[in-house]
Amino acid sequence: MARINTLLVKSANLIAHFESKVIFDVSVLQISMYSTKFEMKDSFSSDIRLKLIMALWSLLFTKCFFLEFLVRHYAVPINSLYYVWTLSILMAAVATTVYAELQIKERAKSIRLPNSFFVLMGNIITALFVISALIAPEKQSHIALVLAALIVTAQHTWLWIGNLDKSYRITSWGWLLGVTAITSVGSPYGFLVFSICMLTLSAAPTLARFLALRKAMV
C-alpha cells in the first residue's frame, strides 16, 4: 500500500511538472507571438508614417517648383530662393523631425540598405542640381534642371529593376517623358513641367501607397 501511495505521489508530481512545463511553454510562445505581432505592427506603422512624410514632401516640392515657374515667368521681384524654397524646406524639415519620431538606430539600419542608400544619395545629388538651377544663369539653370530630372528618373528605374516593383515602371517612363519635355520647353517652363511630374509621378503614387497601407492596417 505504501508503494502504491509512493507511486501515485510520484505520478502526480510528474503530471504536475509536465502540466506546468506545458503551461510555461505555451505562455512563452504566446508572449513571443505577441511580441512579434507588436514589432510587425510597429514596423508597419513606421512604413505608413514614412509614406505620408514622403507624400507631403513631394507636395511641398510641387508647390516650390510651381511658384518658381510663376516668379520667373511673370518676373516677380522677390528672392524666390529665400521666400519660396528656404522657408518652406526649413519649416517642413522641423515638422518632419517632430512628427516622424523615428529612432536613430532604426534610421541607421534603413540607411544601410542598398536601395535606401542609393535613394538617399540620389536625393542629395538632385538637391544640388536643383540649387544650381535656382542660382545659375538661365542656360546653365536649364541644364541643371534637366540633370536633376534625370537623377530622379534613375532613382525610379533603380527601384523598378532592383525591387521588381511594377508600380515604379510607370513612374520611370513618366519621368523619362518629363526629362524630354523639360529639355524641349526650356526655362522657365521646365520648372512647370518638373512641378507637374512631382505631383503626378511622386506625390500621387506615394499618397496612394500610404492610403493602401493605412487601409490594410485597419
* Distance of alpha carbon 157 from alpha carbon 59, whole angstroms: 21
Return the pLDDT at 164. 61
Return the pLDDT at 37. 44
Q: Express each pLDDT in 21-79 by its tens digit.
A: 433 343 443 434 434 443 444 455 666 777 788 888 899 999 999 999 999 999 989 89
Return the pLDDT at 100. 60
In the 8-state DSSP scheme, what is residue 36? H
pTM for this structure? 0.75
* Distance of alpha carbon 38 from alpha carbon 44, whole angstroms: 10
Return the pLDDT at 184. 95
In the structure grid, which three cell numbers stand for residue 42, read together?
A: 510597429
3-state SS class at 186: coil
DSSP 117-134: HHHHHHHHHHHHHHHHHH
Please work out, in degrees rounded to the nearest 5, the angle formed at the alpha carbon of residue 49 by the alpha carbons of 176 and 160.
Answer: 25
Q: Other CB atoms closer than 10 Å to residue 214's CB: what's the count? A: 14
Contact partners, residue 29, CB within 8 Å, separation at least 6: none
Contact predicate 84/64, CB 8 Å: yes
Return the pLDDT at 110. 52
In the 8-state DSSP scheme, what is residue 205? H
Q: Other CB atoms closer than 10 Å to residue 44's CB: what's the count? A: 14
Return the pLDDT at 52. 80
Contact predicate 134/85, CB 8 Å: yes
Return the pLDDT at 161. 82
Measured torsion, CA atoms of residues 144, 146, 148, 152, in degrees rounded to the nearest 10: -170
Return the pLDDT at 186. 86
Point out the residues of the chain with pLDDT beneath 70.
1-47, 98-116, 163-165, 218
